Every structure is written in structure tokens, then in C-alpha cells.
Amino acid sequence: MAKPQNLDKLILSIVATLVAVTAWSLIIAGSFVPRWARPLNISRTDANTTYSLWGREDCYNLICTTKYRQEFKETKTWYFDENNQKQVTVTKSVENVPITTCVEANYCNITWYEEIDFNKVPSLLFVARAFIIPSFCAGLVCIILYIVKIIMLVQRPSWRRIHIK
């Protein structure tokens, strides 16, 4: 059996298509994974916050709530003065006693950037996002062109390219 015409071009196009599809899928998957940024501990919410290119993820291990209970205290002190009479002083006070209850949540909340204030998003993410959107488009165009090239090599192997000098 004779070797098909343009076999080397066909094999190279298939390999290039596989590489382009793999790279494109890794770009898409990597842009949604928020683990590339280190967690930022925020003291006001006690959440571990990580960012991806498209959203923010807040993970909570323990969720604690604090309620305050008012306690009324009355303190009586007495002593005997020099006339051997009992002297009593009464001190009244109100104290707010914190009562903290914690629940183990192991809960993560993902917020997309369209839903939050842009002042709370690191600016480096917008720079990365500006580069990743064109790479999506370029990768998709590359994959489409390679698929068209493979189809043309299989359907019309005898077509010749015209080189302009």
C-alpha cells in the first residue's frame, strides 16, 4: 500500500490540534480555580478568602456568633464605724457579658465579580483577566483553523497551495 499524500502534514496537524486543545482547556480550567492565590485572612469575617480570575471564594471553618447578655449586679459592703454602728454602701452596675457560640461549618461561598464591589478585588486580577480573555479567543481560533486544515488534508489531498512571491 502506498503512503498517502501529505501524511506528515496530517500527523503534524493532528498533534498540533491536540496540543492546542490541551492548552486551551488548561487555560479555561486554571482561570476558574481560585487556589492560585494564597488565602487572605480577613479578621472581620474570619474567612479564608481566595481569588480566581472570575470570582472570589470565602471559606469558613468555624462560624461564631457573639451575643451580649446584660447582667445587673448589686454589691453591698458594710463596716462598723467608730460609734459601733453598721454602715452599708450599695453599688449597682450593669455589665455586658459576651456569650459566644460556634458551629463547625466547613462552608465555602463563591461570589462572581459582577455581584461585588470592584474596590474589594485585587487589581492584579484585572490585569491577568485582560490577558486571558484574548488568549481564549486566540486558542479557539487556532483550534478551528487546525480542524479545517485536517479536513482539507483528508478531503482534498491533491490541492496545492499558491505561494505569492
Q: Report pTM.
A: 0.46
On the question of pLDDT at 38 being above 60, the answer is: no
CB atoms within 10 A of CB 56: 22
How far is it, in rounded angstroms, from Cα 144 to Cα 157? 19
Residue 114: which pLDDT band, with cuts at 50, 70 and 90?
A: low
Three-state SS at 75:
strand
Dist CA 30 CA 36 (whole Å)? 8
pLDDT digit string, tens, across residues 39-73 = 555 545 567 777 777 777 788 887 788 899 999 98
Q: Which helix (H) or strand (E) holds 97?
A: strand 86-112
Question: ∠ at Cα 102 (100, 103), nearest 5°?
Answer: 155
